[in-house]
């Protein structure tokens, strides 16, 4: 049962604070409410929960241009934010969380602006066949969020300057470059502004949920908790992770995402594993080190270990089975 909807918009462009606000809202959303959060970051590369910052980003170029790198809670791939981009987040408990309904809020807002868009799969929104919005998802203990970008007037040349996009990923989508498959909404609606988009989104949110949303302000949030979370998102350990010396690396592009595993091996035994992926199911990727650690670095042994993993979720079960088959046949 839905009791109320809330709208909140941050005015700052610090990615670490904005991600902190998002996590705070995610963990503090009342059970029968839906929150709609709009926010912007200035010159930021945002990577997915399980991505390797060193591999995904041109770190020296980012630092030279005084841009920053941030890591979000959700899975998926790296994206570039600037003030020509608007970020959105829907937050709700599982019983009121509906990705299709939330996407309709976005599509209806664009219709209000005279733009016809289409959903592609679960995580992209397209106009004229080109992507302007990528979506990602996070769930924990019944709390859920769905967030994404809306590119209005982004400096698209920064995409290829700052991001190292996998050739396997491009080949799987049948395209030559990231730039060739993305578009700014200003290219199809020249008079569009971020302000007009925000107003359309607020109107659409109220119409699609058939109620007037209540205003939630930054001042209503716990400043100390926001400060603590901001420090977490800005920390070296969170952004870059705990790197270690590895001896072996294997990787593969699946239909659901790319996976790279790095191994520390001693006397044929796996001592440690790092798992990186742009998969939208970060929990599966995070489970891999514990599954493979302390087993023999051997095809059959690793495949058997992966074969013991099961999930009631159909997508996650497919991921485990795909990795089991891959590990059984990959050249080590």
Burial string for 144-172 (b: 16+ CB within 10 Å, else e) reads bbbbbbbbbbbebebbeebbebbeeeeee
DSSP state of 213: P
| The two three-digit tokens of residue 92, written as one number | 């709700």
Angle at which helix 282-292 crosses helix 314-329, to 10 degrees, equals 40
182, 78: one domain? yes
Q: Which domain holds residue 94?
A: 4-240
- CATH of residue 23's domain is 3.30.930.10
For 266-325, give the DSSP string. ETTEEEEEEEEE--S-HHHHHHHHHHHTTSBSSHHHHHHHHHT---SSHHHHHHHHHHHH
- Final residue of a structural domain among 196, 215, 240: 240
Tally the domains of the chain. Answer: 2
pTM to 2 decimal places: 0.84
Give the residue from 69, 38, 101, 107 showing the smallest Cα distance to 238. Answer: 69
Q: What number of residues does the chain have?
A: 332
188, 95: one domain? yes
- CATH of residue 301's domain is 3.30.390.50
Cα–Cα dist 243/229, whole Å: 22
Question: pLDDT of the chain along its 332 residues, tens only?
Answer: 899 999 999 999 999 999 999 999 999 999 999 999 999 999 999 999 999 888 888 988 999 999 999 999 999 999 999 999 999 999 999 999 999 999 999 999 999 999 999 998 778 999 999 999 999 999 999 999 999 999 999 999 998 899 986 555 434 444 444 545 899 999 999 999 999 999 999 999 999 999 999 999 999 999 999 999 999 999 999 998 766 678 899 999 999 999 999 999 988 899 999 999 999 999 999 999 999 999 999 999 999 999 999 999 999 999 999 999 999 999 88
């Amino acid at each position: 049962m839905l009791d109320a909807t809330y709208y909140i918009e941050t005015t700052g462009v610090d990615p670490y604070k904005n991600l902190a606000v998002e996590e705070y809202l995610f963990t503090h959303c009342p059970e029968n409410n839906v929150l709609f959060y709009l926010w912007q970051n200035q010159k930021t590369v945002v990577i997915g929960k399980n991505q390797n910052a060193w591999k995904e980003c041109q770190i020296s170029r980012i630092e030279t241009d005084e841009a920053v790198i941030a890591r979000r809670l959700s899975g998926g791939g790296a994206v570039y934010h600037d003030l020509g981009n608007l970020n959105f987040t829907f937050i709700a408990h599982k019983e009121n969380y509906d990705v299709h309904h939330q996407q309709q809020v976005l599509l209806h807002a664009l219709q209000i602006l005279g733009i016809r868009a289409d959903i592609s799969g679960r995580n992209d929104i397209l106009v004229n066949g080109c992507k302007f919005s990528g979506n990602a998802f996070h769930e924990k203990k019944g709390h859920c969020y769905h967030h994404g970008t809306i590119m209005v007037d982004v400096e698209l040349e920064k995409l290829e300057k700052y991001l190292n996009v996998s050739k396997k990923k491009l080949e799987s989508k049948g395209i030559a470059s990231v730039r060739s498959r993305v578009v700014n909404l200003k290219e199809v609606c020249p008079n569009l502004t971020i302000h007009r988009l925000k107003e359309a989104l607020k109107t659409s949110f109220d119409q699609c949920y058939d109620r007037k949303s209540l205003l939630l302000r930054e001042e209503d949030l716990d400043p100390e908790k926001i400060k603590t979370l901001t420090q977490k998102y800005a920390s070296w350990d969170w952004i870059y992770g705990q790197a270690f010396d590895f001896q072996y690396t294997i990787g593969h592009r699946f239909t659901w995402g790319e996976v790279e595993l790095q191994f520390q091996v001693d006397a044929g035994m796996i001592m440690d594993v790092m798992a990186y992926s742009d998969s939208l199911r970060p929990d599966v990727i995070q489970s891999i080190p514990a599954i493979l650690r302390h087993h023999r670095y051997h095809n059959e042994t690793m495949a058997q270990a992966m074969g013991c993993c099961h999930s009631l979720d159909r997508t996650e079960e497919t991921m485990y089975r795909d990795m089991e088959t891959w590990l059984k046949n990959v050249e080590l």
